[in-house]
Structure 1
């Protein structure tokens, strides 16, 4: 199977250039690389952010041998390898395929699934979305029709707490209440049984669809395939691009689900949370659970080789052998014995990862900026580092140009580089305040950003 894989092709588009909407999207993947100013870029999809420790080792090997040595996290819980050499294609495909990170050559760019990172770990969700994640990824890779999805189409699996529901998925499954039984051994709870139901959302449609919990993953795939049947052309990448909107699509989805034998009925769509709730750094526990989890933040989403090795070693030696990458550029290590949790967390903090809410890096994000991106007008990462200070009431995201690549959803301070300086504005919901232009150096910019963020109580 690996021998049949095509080596990655490097897109001829200039760094950061979008493809024309008439051609479909040019999202990078692990078999179609993107040419950036610092070399080729590979984006490796990690559905739900779940990585085995061995897969983490494979990614670290690739980054060290062919790239800049670091692991770059994305706002969808995926991994980017940057500064790759032009001749790494065959080795990239071989290592990713051998580690299970490339189960289907045709589907590698469409495996865009975010999931509640703490699902099943803290007992705060209404169900464990793990079964949805495994089944949906398998269904995606087995669907010929789904291979036509855009690399930007997003599935979100929310365990009921509303965290990834706020990320604006094209197809969102939201767990609802129901009877849950204690698991054997008292370690958490069993997933919801088939009598429970999930709410399936499509973009910003005013209504949603209730489907049986046990058929939720299949329903998500049917919804995505129905979207493809409704898309007028290759430039319709996401549900929001449909000319008739998501409401018209929803009725088609209900008919398709019923034809496929999936019980489906319309229901009111509850309002989405205005801001996504990232897991806080620290030790995560749940009543009655025999193990804990470690949640850490990653400054600007860039993990050094030493930090990555420590995370993988911590998962293998102290955890259950897996890592969970979050859509907020953090990492969760599940399955840690409670008596070892504090020591393991301290070691991660000593390595430079964020382990407490009082870290000055809390809530600070940035795109790659200069020199990695030709479109960027500023070295926003250096400026973000110079501006870190007391934790603000609002998060802040620094963008090197008006495209705002990787920006988060929800309330935030928006810093955008322009030809005249940097614009600083507060974003609340869908409203962006009138920006303040700061033409001066980093000191004036830092002060303006700090004032916009406010002070957290």
Structure 2
């Protein structure tokens, strides 16, 4: 089983001279293709109605597309200047902006398969809702950067591997581990106290960041003298009435991201859907909503399914109760819409940043280049079905926006003269074969990029 890269210690603290510029649903980002809005979706959890409203927003205000992010959020691009008020009103009416002053700090990822099947692990979606409620009612939480990340993991170790700042890891007997950054140890609390413990961990970070004076955005940026300590955190929890035990060493689990697994059996079943490069048209998105609800063109709950969608941090979507045979053949509808729902497809673990023309810093249209390579390697991808391949990420510049977390990955970066793959230039006529070779022999981890 693959293991995530280990954390590397920083030789010098990161000193920030400004606040973060992460976009939100209210703070729009001016890109080359218009304004961009990032809608936070804690845990990736959407009702059918909320999902329908996102499609409406993409059509009414944007370019008619929705993008999935590496934190399980949704982006709208190509927004017109002056649309902010109308967009905010639409999102607020669907419950997607419960606290405008907190909307950029609602960064919560959660195990997307939690509660699906008989895993024996805790169902963590209720923890997501409670943490989000606590965040939205905390004045202190507004000081968090838009990059601070909470992970709520049901114990398998999937989202815990995504470099979160605070992790809740479900365990046996109703106990939960609370991890601070990439610490070796953890603090153990009762499940009922876990969401509040996560908020207190974030407040502990803010206190340490204030004391350090470096304006750190994330736990990993704190200088050593102000690093978070499990013992101190346990004392803080005790003062808040939460009983906590310190565990100096924990064998942290790791699980790979969910992959499409096919139609399953029965009329309603869970599906994992993979949009190529995490980008969908509003019409494709509406097909997802209909299949999730078991309807036919209704666009939200009203059919026999539960209507829930879960956006994953790996730019896929899990439908916990999709209609796969009756009342509609949802599996066939998704395939017809150009979405991957079968295992070993050519788009598995292929991601890209925005690239040209949307990003001014990009040196290439990485999405078009990725599609060309996938198309060129389609037959070879089928021949390799069932074999493990490393994720590949196409970056338009050295920033590597949206690259994979928690695993080794193939690093493809655009340069003024073409592409560099894992640090070496690759001629354009050799690119498809070089990517295929690299995916079978992963050589780059996130640590390598940081060095």
Normalising by structure 1, report the TM-score.
Answer: 0.84
C-alpha spacing 1:359/1:342, structure 2 compared with 1 (3 Å):
farther
- 1:284 CA displacement: 8.0
Inter-CA distance 36–107: structure 2 relative to 1 (3 Å threshold): same
Tell me which of the two structures has the higher relative contact order, counting C-alpha pairs closer than 8 angstroms and 6 or more residues apart: 2
CA displacement at 1:101 relative to structure 2: 0.2
SS in 1 for 2:100: coil
Deviation string 1:109-137 (CA, Å, 9 cap, x unpaired) is: 00000000010012225211012111100
Query: 1:252 matched to which residue of 2?
Result: 232
Q: CA deviation at 1:273?
A: 5.2
State the partner residue of 1:5.
none
**Alignment equivalent of 1:300, drawn from 277, 280, 284:** 277
1:379 aligns with 2:374: no
Q: In structure 2, what is the Cα distance between the partners aligned to 1:24 and 1:234?
A: 11
1:415 to 408, 412, 427: 412
- Give yes or no for contact 1:209–1:266 (8 Å, CA) kept in 2: yes
Aligned equivalent of 1:93? 88
Rounded Cα–Cα distance in structure 1 between residues aligned with 2:56 and 2:225: 44
Count residues with an aligned counterpart: 406
Q: Is the 8 A contact 2:181 2:219 kept in 1?
A: yes
Counterpart in the other structure of 1:278? 257
Counterpart selection for 2:350 from 364, 367, 375: 364
Q: Report what 1:201 is aligned to.
A: 179
Q: Give how far 1:304 is off.
A: 1.1
Instruction: Tell me the CA shift for residue 359 of structure 1.
Output: 1.2
Structure 1 position 235, deviation (Å): 2.6
- Give 1:107's aligned residue: 102
In 2: Cα distance, 1:125 partner to 1:402 partner:
42
1:394 maps onto 2:390 in alignment: yes
Contact 2:168 2:179 in 1 (8 A): yes
**Structure 2 residue aligned with 1:58:** 53
Per the alignment, do residues 248 and 113 of structure 1 end up closer, same or farther by CA in structure 2, a change over 3 Å counting?
Answer: closer
Cα deviation, residue 378, structure 1: 1.0
Shift of 1:219: 0.4
Residue 67 of structure 1: aligned partner: 62
- Residue 337 (structure 1) shift: 5.8
| Distance change (3 Å), C-alpha of 1:449 and 1:216 | same
Following the alignment from structure 2 to structure 1, what is the Cα–Cα distance between the partners of residues 400 and 361? 11
Q: After TM superposition, give the deviation of residue 376 of structure 1 in Å.
A: 0.6
Give CA-to-partner distance per residue, 1:418-453, whole Å, 9 cap, x none: 22321111xxxxxxxxx2211x32x32112111111
CA separation of 1:338 and 1:414: change in aligned 2, threshold 3 A: same
Cα RMSD after superposing both structures? 2.2
Residues 391, 404 of structure 2: 8 Å contact kept: no
* Segment drifting more, 61-70 vs 265-274: 265-274
Aligned equivalents of 1:125, 1:169: Cα separation in 2: 24
Long gaps (5+) in structure 1: 1-19, 179-195, 426-434
